Copies of this chain bind each other. A is one copy, B any other.
């Protein structure tokens, strides 16, 4: 069993890839969330923050739980028929997907939470792609789009806090 944090980070990167999500996709969402404040920012500059978010234990557990739910629903292994029906149609008021995503944002403060709310409704980039591919198609992306949004929102929040801190330090 992969017990340590680095092994689990790799495990999560593989799970995301298996569901069609690269870390560059997530960094691009994070960049989008910072675009109003930093016009010239590139996805590459946010990739470090995406890695930092994914190195946290609580984030890794949320990623594993959400993707396991999507896969089990899709492959008919989840047991509860009502729950499977809700997840396969990505019912808009389901809510458990957003709640699990908050568990990721909850380690990056209030700005991460507002960032998540914004990108969850805006459905930018890979999030839009996942969302469209998971509505009554046989694929289940109910949890993964929110997980991707939450990692991007947390990475953007981490970047913003560090940027302000660096400016503070230069000024003193």
* Chain A interface residues (CB < 8 Å from chain B): 1-5, 8, 11, 15, 37, 56-58, 61-62, 64-65, 67-69, 71-72, 75, 77-83, 85-86, 92-96, 98-100, 102-103, 106-111, 113-118, 120-122, 160-161, 164-165, 168-169, 171-172
Given contacts A58-B93, A96-B65, A106-B99, contact A171 B117 (CB under 8 A): no
10 pairs of A and B residues whose beta carbons are closest in the complex: A117-B117, A99-B103, A98-B110, A118-B121, A114-B117, A95-B110, A4-B168, A77-B77, A65-B96, A64-B83
Given contacts A68-B78, A99-B62, contact A120 B109 (CB under 8 A): no
Tell me whether A172 and B3 are in contact (CB under 8 A). Answer: yes
Expressed in whole angstroms, the minimum distance between the Cβ of A155 and any Cβ of chain B is 15
Tell me whether A82 and B8 are in contact (CB under 8 A). Answer: yes
- Having A103-B109, A117-B118, one finds 12 other A-B pairs with CB under 8 Å, namely A61-B95, A61-B96, A64-B80, A72-B77, A77-B78, A92-B111, A93-B160, A99-B110, A106-B106, A115-B117, A116-B117, A117-B117
Expressed in whole angstroms, the minimum distance between the Cβ of A133 and any Cβ of chain B is 19
Taken together as a complex, chains A and B put the C-alpha atoms of A118 and B33 apart, in Å, by 11
When the two chains form the complex, which single residue of B69, B78, B82, B110 contacts A2, counting CB atoms closer than 8 Å? B82
